[in-house]
């Protein structure tokens, strides 16, 4: 019959506290009764120390993960509220309601998709987690809005006028040159 002692602490004077995994096997004598005891011990002190450190790190990691999850929920709620408030203002103002709005989000939930489209977004894009995929989505998004998409004419004129107002010299801002220039850009 094997005796297994998974953790047996010993305290040798020179090494300090050590932990052994000990197995003992009785060796019978001629009469069949246990006459000797053969023991084998393995020093598992380092392994037990490493397991203890891993356990402590995992406990700290669980606490930190819970803190991050709570912070993320607060940030997500704040971001959701602010983005929807801004979107309501943009789409509720006659001077800005035709500006195209693209939502770039982590949320793939149907409720978020429906809510934002009801507020008047023009496009809803879920960000991929993988960086290469994210880069590809952003590249395609830029190509779509810059090349493929055709804006409403009034939106394009308003956008061109804003661009001219920002870039044109002060003398040219208040004359019909800027309107003519905007109209010519629309035909390109």
- Please compute Rg for the chain using Cα positions: 36
How far is residue 57's CA from residue 55's CA, in Å, rounded to a whole number?
A: 5
- At 184, list the tokens: 């010519």
What average pLDDT does this structure show over 101-130? 87
What DSSP designation does 32 have? S
- Classify burial at 72, counting beta carbons within 10 Å of its beta carbon; exposed 0-12, middle 13-18, buried 19 or more: exposed
Domain residue spans of the chain: 3-43, 151-188
pLDDT for 96-110, tens place per residue? Answer: 888 888 888 888 889
pLDDT for 21-43, tens place per residue? Answer: 999 999 999 998 988 989 999 99
This prediction's pTM = 0.44
| Statement: residue 134 has pLDDT above 70 | yes
């Amino acid at each position: 019959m094997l005796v297994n002692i998974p953790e047996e602490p010993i305290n040798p004077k020179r090494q300090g506290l050590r932990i052994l995994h000990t197995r003992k096997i009785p060796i019978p004598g001629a009469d069949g009764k246990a006459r000797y005891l053969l023991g084998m011990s393995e020093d598992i002190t380092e392994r037990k120390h490493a397991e203890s450190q891993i356990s402590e790190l995992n406990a700290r990691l669980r606490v930190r993960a819970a803190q991050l999850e709570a912070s993320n929920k607060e940030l997500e709620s704040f971001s959701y509220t602010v983005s929807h408030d801004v979107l309501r203002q943009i789409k509720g103002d006659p001077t800005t309601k035709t500006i195209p709005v693209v939502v770039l989000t982590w949320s793939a939930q149907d409720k978020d998709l429906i809510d934002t489209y009801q507020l008047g977004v023009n496009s809803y894009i879920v960000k991929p987690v993988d960086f290469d995929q994210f880069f590809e989505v952003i590249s395609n998004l830029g190509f779509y809005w810059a090349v493929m998409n055709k804006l409403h004419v009034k939106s394009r004129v308003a956008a061109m006028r804003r661009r001219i107002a920002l870039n044109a010299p002060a003398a040219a801002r208040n004359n019909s040159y800027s309107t003519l220039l905007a109209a010519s850009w629309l035909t390109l």
